[in-house]
Every structure is written in C-alpha cells, then in structure tokens.
Chains A and B, each alone.
Chain A
C-alpha cells in the first residue's frame, strides 16, 4: 500500500467516514461539456457573461468559456468572491479570508450566467446574487453548476446542470480541480451518524 493510500485510509478512520462514490476527470469533462452545450442551445449567438464564484466556480466557468469561445459571439468573464455577503458570520470563530472580485465588464444590462462547482443549500448563490447586484442591474441572471447535490435551504434552482448527484444531507462532496488542487476528481464521502 502506498503512503498516499495509507494517508487516505487514516483520514477515513479518524473522521469516521467512508467513500460512497468517486467521479473521475472524464466525468468532470463530460459535465462541463453538458453545461456548454445547454448554454449554447438556449442562447444562440447572444452576448453572455460567465461569472465564476470563488473558489473553483471560477475554474469551472473558465472551462465552459473555453468550449464556448470557438463561436462567434461576445463573451465576458468575471470572478466573484462572496465572503463579505455570507449570512453566518455570527457562527464563525474567524471571518473567512477574502479575495478580489474581478468584474471588468459592465454588469448593467448584461446577461450573466453565475457558475459554481457544487449547488447544495443555495446560500452561496443567495450571497452571489446580492454581491452581483452591487455592481449594477443585470438584464438577466442564470445559474450553471457542475454538480447539483440537492438539499436546498433557499428557493434557488439551477438553469444548467453538469452532473446530478444523489447525496445525503450530511455527506461531503469533495471537489478537486486541476487549476486549484492539481487534479480532477469528485468524491462523495459519507459521515457516519453519531
């Protein structure tokens, strides 16, 4: 057994978890492709702006952008950090570090597609909508997610989905992406009930 595998095993034992499912780089590529196709079909030739939510939503957005960029249409790209718009500061011992948002196109009147890696409770998207509206008033905002794992706590639904994952409320969905984590992989890890 390699030391890496031993480390993973130790992690699983220590944290009372075990792997339910693993998705590969091919699954992720297919999911991104599905997003690009759906966005293309629904919005032929219209100018659109993809805005990725930090962290990893920006990387998903970049990949979708690459697939769309072969077409003759106006594409804009932006990155949003939503830390300052969270609704759980009271429960944090330490406020999350924030990074710069990069929205260099005019938001006013734009057709924006928000992009994130995992859609879970919907709270991140709520925060992202608030953050976006402080840059201006878009004509339209849609939502694209690489993974929809269910268990919403807010009335928010995606317009484009790459992969639907059936999960339990307490499961962890661990997303690794090449640019952020050095490899493409998605793991669903179950947390045992105490």
Chain B
C-alpha cells in the first residue's frame, strides 16, 4: 500500500523497507543508459524547502526528481519571505495554493515535516529534521550495505562519532536493525547517549569496538554547527581518539572493512586524507545510491491519499 508521506524510518514496516530497497535496483540500472530520464512523474511538481544548508541531499533530491521528469522548484529560504517573518504555516499554505505534488523539507526543528504533512495534500518527504530523522539517508545506507551483502543478516556496522546530535545515526541504526544488521555506537561518552534503542552496543574505546569485529565502519560528520557546548576538548583530540588516522586506516585495510560516511567529510577530523583513496570506501557509492533510492521513494509515495 502506498503512503502519502515519508517522515521517518520507525513507522515503516519491514516489508515497506524491503520493497523500497528492491525498487531502488531498477532505478539504479537506469543510470547506465544513454538517456537517464524516465517519464513516470511527468507534469508533477516537486518543491524543495530547505531551512538548513545542504548541498548533497538537496542536489540528490533534485537529480532524482528530474530523472523522473518532474518539475523541480527550489524554494529559496534565505531569500524568501521567511526572512521577512512569514511563518512555516503560511509558507505551506502558499505552496498548497501552487498545487505542489511533493514537498521535500529540511528544518532544524524536529517534527516540523510531520506538521507540514498534516497541513497539505502534497506528499512530504523529510530530508532531515533536527536530531530526529533522515529517512532517505537511512534507506541509501541500507541499500549500499545490501549491495555488498544481499542478505545482510548478522553483519555488523560500527557507527562512530556524535551519536547524540545525529539524525543519521538515529535513522540508519533503526533501519539496519529492522533488516537484521547488528549495530554498535562508538564515540566520546558525552556524545553517545546511554539510553535509546535496545540491542545496540556502546563503546567509548576504539580498540574495544574493533574487537567486536564490525564489517562496516560508518563515520559520522562532526557537526561543527551543532557544537554549541563543548562535548570534546578539541578537533585534534577527537581525530586522535575517534578519527580514522593513517595507522587506523592501515588496520581497517588489513581487516578488509568497508568504510562509509554520509558526507560532507571534515578532512583531518573524522577521516585522514588517505581514506579518499581507500579501495573499500563506499562514500561515492552512497552518493550514487542516494539518487536511486530517492527516485524509488518519489515513485512510491502517492500525493493526496486522504488525510494522514
């Protein structure tokens, strides 16, 4: 059954997740053709509403929508009436009057996309809200892992970094658990919440985490813009304790681990420069898969399916 909105991972069933991941495969196949575009959403309008800066997610959604032949409008928040004091609600009413079919929204406030979803007939896709959820990132991460292990049951993913503020950690760990992957967190004690979902191991020491024998290491971006309080002494110390240094990269290569990162990378903080040439880095796969997964999401959602 199709849904109107995609707001988080937690409300998706395992079947819905598997369906979306399966459907992403034929969309990725399109990228190898001479014409990468299909007419499925011809005449539909997609509007992007990004209240927070984003380059990758924003352009990924834009490419995905355009490859489905939808018309894309970027609601330029910085230059819009929002800076003149228009509320989100008024903005959404305006968009409703424009008969937009899909709204892709990112906001620093958790829960804002679901508020918008209740007010509009358009399909709303959450492209990241505060530290709550980032469902399409989670789907592309799961897809990337399944490309390496079609049956990922029992595979292990170690997520490293600022778990506390990270919507990526929240959504990605949720989806991985739903498809049978084991997840562990590693980070400074101040950034790894002790409460939270059951069945996730928590480490504060890199060596201990490696002894858990992960198959993937997933580095989170240190979110400079969210460090309003001091959670760790300095970026240099963070790199020394939790970053992938040259020595750790050699260890990861020996163990044959895959490496993932949602981007953009803070070089010299989460990752040393040499990681960019690591043969088992999946960072570029994640970017490519992001487009396929977002096409599958846009194709799956049905706008105006009654009230949520």
A contact set with B: CB distance below 8 Å = 81, 83-86, 89, 93-95, 97-101, 130-131, 133-136
> Within residues 221 to 265 of chain B, which ones have a CB less than 8 A from any CB in chain A?
none
The answer to whether A97 touches B37, judged by C-beta atoms less than 8 angstroms apart, is: no
The answer to whether B23 touches A98, judged by C-beta atoms less than 8 angstroms apart, is: yes
Chain B residue at minimum C-beta to C-beta distance from A101: B29
Majority secondary structure, B binding face:
loop
CB distance from A100 to the nearest CB of B (A): 5
The answer to whether B38 touches A95, judged by C-beta atoms less than 8 angstroms apart, is: no
The answer to whether A95 touches B37, judged by C-beta atoms less than 8 angstroms apart, is: no
Q: A100 with B26: in contact, given A85-B39, A95-B299 (CB under 8 Å)?
A: yes
Residues of B within 8 A of A89 (CB): 40-41
Residues of A within 8 A of B1 (CB): 94
The answer to whether A94 touches B39, judged by C-beta atoms less than 8 angstroms apart, is: no
Q: A99 with B299: in contact, given A84-B38, A85-B39, A134-B33 (CB under 8 Å)?
A: no
The answer to whether A98 touches B35, judged by C-beta atoms less than 8 angstroms apart, is: no
The answer to whether A100 touches B25, judged by C-beta atoms less than 8 angstroms apart, is: yes
CB distance from B182 to the nearest CB of A (A): 30
The answer to whether B40 touches A135, judged by C-beta atoms less than 8 angstroms apart, is: no
Residues of B within 8 A of A99 (CB): 26
Residues of B within 8 A of A85 (CB): 38-40
Complexed CA–CA distance, A101 and B27 (Å): 10
Chain A residue at minimum C-beta to C-beta distance from B300: A95
Complexed CA–CA distance, A131 and B1 (Å): 26
Residues of B within 8 A of A136 (CB): 34
Complexed CA–CA distance, A135 and B35 (Å): 6
CB distance from B194 to the nearest CB of A (A): 42
CB distance from A71 to the nearest CB of B (A): 30
Chain B residue at minimum C-beta to C-beta distance from A92: B302
Most chain-B Cβ atoms within 10 A of its Cβ — which of A95, A133, A136?
A95
Complexed CA–CA distance, A31 and B22 (Å): 35
Residues of A within 8 A of B98 (CB): none
Residues of A within 8 A of B35 (CB): 133-135
Complexed CA–CA distance, A89 and B300 (Å): 11
B2 located at the interface, meaning its Cβ lies under 8 Å from any Cβ of chain A in the complex:
yes
Complexed CA–CA distance, A134 and B33 (Å): 7
Complexed CA–CA distance, A131 and B19 (Å): 23
The answer to whether B29 touches A94, judged by C-beta atoms less than 8 angstroms apart, is: no
